């Protein structure tokens, strides 16, 4: 596993655990989360994008599958578009 791919995998797992356990008074709209993901990915150096592309694609695919019919069409489309651009 390449350096950035391993870092991405670790950060994704740690972030998921934190998100699972974090107690919120209000829930931020999912569109904000997707916007952050789109912006952060776009600003990554090409070397990093190349190394995390496969893992990110897997994460997005799982998100789309787990979201099923609960994801709004706009969110589903944006996630699909990001996945297609990888």
**What predicted TM-score, i.e. pTM, was given to this entire model?**
0.85
Residues 67 and 76: beta-carbon distance below 8 Å:
yes
DSSP code per residue over the chain:
--HHHHHHHHHHHHHHHHHHH---SS---HHHHHHHHHHHHHTS-HHHHHHHHHHHHHHHHHHHHHHGGGS-HHHHHHHHHHHHH-
Residue 47: is its pLDDT beyond 90?
yes
More confident residue, 1 or 68: 68
Evaluate whether 12 touches 59 at the Cβ level (below 8 Å).
yes
- Domain-wise residue ranges, the chain: 3-85
pLDDT in tens, 32-45: 999 999 999 999 99
**What confidence score (pLDDT) does residue 51 get?**
95
pLDDT at residue 34, as a whole number: 95
């Amino acid at each position: 596993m390449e350096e950035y791919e391993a870092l991405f995998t670790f950060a994704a797992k740690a972030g998921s655990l934190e998100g699972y356990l974090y107690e919120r008074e209000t829930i931020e709209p999912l569109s904000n989360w997707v916007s952050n993901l789109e912006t952060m990915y776009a600003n990554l150096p090409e070397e990093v994008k190349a190394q995390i592309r496969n893992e990110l694609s897997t994460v997005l695919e799982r998100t789309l599958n787990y979201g099923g019919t609960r994801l709004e069409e706009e969110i589903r489309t944006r996630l699909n578009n990001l996945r297609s651009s990888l």
